[in-house]
Amino acid sequence: MAERTPSAPSRRKRLSLDAYVQGVLGSDRAVLGRAITLVESSVAADQDLAQELLLRILPHTGNSQRIGITGVPGVGKSTLIEAFGRNLTALGHRVAVLAVDPTSGVTGGSILGDKTRMNELSRDPNAFVRPSPSGGSLGGVTRKTRESMLVCEAAGFDVILVETVGVGQSETTVSEMVDCFLVLMLANAGDELQGIKRGVLELADLIAINKADQSQASANQAKQEYSGAMRLMRMKHGLWRPPVFTVSGLQNQGLDLLWGKVQEHRELLQQHGMLERVRKEQLKRWMWTMVDDRVLAALRAHPEVAAQAAELERQVLAGELTPTRGAQAILRAFGIGA
């Protein structure tokens, strides 16, 4: 069933730590939803309790297949995810769908905000669809998504699908929290091959040309073009060259091939001991990203910095001060540097 992120902090009484732990480990869906709401909360007391919860359930995490999915708006992510998720639950898997949408704080929307786009998957008893938290920095949103992923793993979901809005830094961030990163592309998209960011293709473990049902010939042409482009790319793991194939989320075509490629990629990583190394590196980056976010937040909130920031910005814009000198002044106000 789908869970909704509340627009305002919940006024319900917090559960005890033991109740949260027992509920999550027992796959109690009501407690699972409340646990994720706790993780997403910005209230200090909630955050303290959330970290205690995560510490308790940590031994029960890490057993899922973590798959990131990105693509430009209109590529058909939601349709494909619903069909793919339904296929997986039919195979006996338990599937959680999470989202990273840093734009939601500006627009008030969410990738998964319109639940009718995943209506069937939302009602599937073996699936859990969670909209992204609204508001906050990209770092804050991704922290919540990472921690929600751990809660879902502890609750027994063995496939986690993380959807990203498909623009900007969110793609890099999602690729750093999953085992396999799928990039969805479209055929007949004009100069898409020339216009697509090289960095996105370098992040890809799999590339799928979606909506192949509209024109298989065009999809096959796009497949050839992207296959040629990928041969020029540096391989992400050295041993794996990202395959390019065609799918149709709407017609549920090629999704068995997609799952097969996900399995093939995972087996390769495991055979060479790379999966554990990749996940450990992700944990280290996660820790330092949180340090960066907290330090930046503390710097911006510092009274001396706040008092000088507007004038320093004015001087930089007026050409009276270089950006480097302005940064040095801000850091001195914060107590760093001579």
Tell me, yes or no, whether 72 and 104 share the same domain. yes
Tell me, yes or no, whether 310 and 222 share the same domain. no
Give the residue from 207, 216, 210, 209 showing the smallest Cα distance to 250. Answer: 210
Q: Could you tell me the CATH number of the domain that includes residue 159?
A: 3.40.50.300
Tell me, yes or no, whether 236 and 106 share the same domain. yes
pLDDT at 194: 43
pLDDT at 110: 45
Cβ–Cβ < 8 Å for 5, 134: yes
Q: Produce one character per residue of 277-290: b if its CB has 16 or more CB atoms within 10 Å, e if not.
A: ebbeebeeebeebe
Query: Is 192 among the domain residues?
Result: yes
Tell me, yes or no, whether 130 and 241 share the same domain. yes
pLDDT at 189: 58
Q: How far is CA 114 from the centre of its chain?
A: 18
**Of 231, 252, 272, which residue constitutes the final position of a domain?**
272
Tell me, yes or no, whether 237 and 288 share the same domain. no
Tell me, yes or no, whether 231 and 304 share the same domain. no
Cβ–Cβ < 8 Å for 40, 133: yes
**Of 239, 272, 305, which residue constitutes the final position of a domain?**
272
Tell me, yes or no, whether 232 and 298 share the same domain. no
* Domains in the chain, number: 2
Mean pLDDT by 10-residue block, N- to C-terminus, for the chain (338 residues)? 47 85 96 94 91 96 95 88 97 93 50 62 93 58 86 97 74 89 81 56 91 90 86 76 94 96 96 93 89 89 95 96 95 86
Residue 101 CA to residue 137 CA, distance in Å, equals 10
Query: Is 111 among the domain residues?
Result: yes
Query: Is 290 among the domain residues?
Result: yes
Tell me, yes or no, whether 148 and 291 share the same domain. no
Taking each helix axis from N to C terminus, what angle separates 17-25 and 138-154, rounded to the nearest 10 degrees? 70
Tell me, yes or no, whether 251 and 291 share the same domain. no
Query: Residues with Cβ < 8 Å from 134, sequence gap 6 or more?
Result: 5, 7, 104, 105, 108, 110
Q: What is the pTM of this model?
A: 0.85
Query: Is 50 among the domain residues?
Result: no
Tell me, yes or no, whether 191 and 102 share the same domain. yes
Cβ–Cβ < 8 Å for 130, 112: yes
27, 244, 297 from 254: Cα distances, Å: 31, 12, 45
Q: Could you tell me the CATH number of the domain that includes residue 302?
A: 1.10.287.130
Neighbour count for residue 197 (Cβ, 10 Å):
11
Domain that holds residue 314: 283-334
Q: Produce one character per residue of 37-75: b if its CB has 16 or more CB atoms within 10 Å, e if not.
A: bbbbbeeeebeebbeebbebbeebeeebbbbbbbbbeeb
Tell me, yes or no, whether 245 and 101 share the same domain. yes
Q: What is the DSSP string of 8-32?
A: S---SPPPPHHHHHHHHHTT-HHHH
Tell me, yes or no, whether 159 and 308 share the same domain. no
Residue 67 CA to residue 56 CA, distance in Å, equals 24
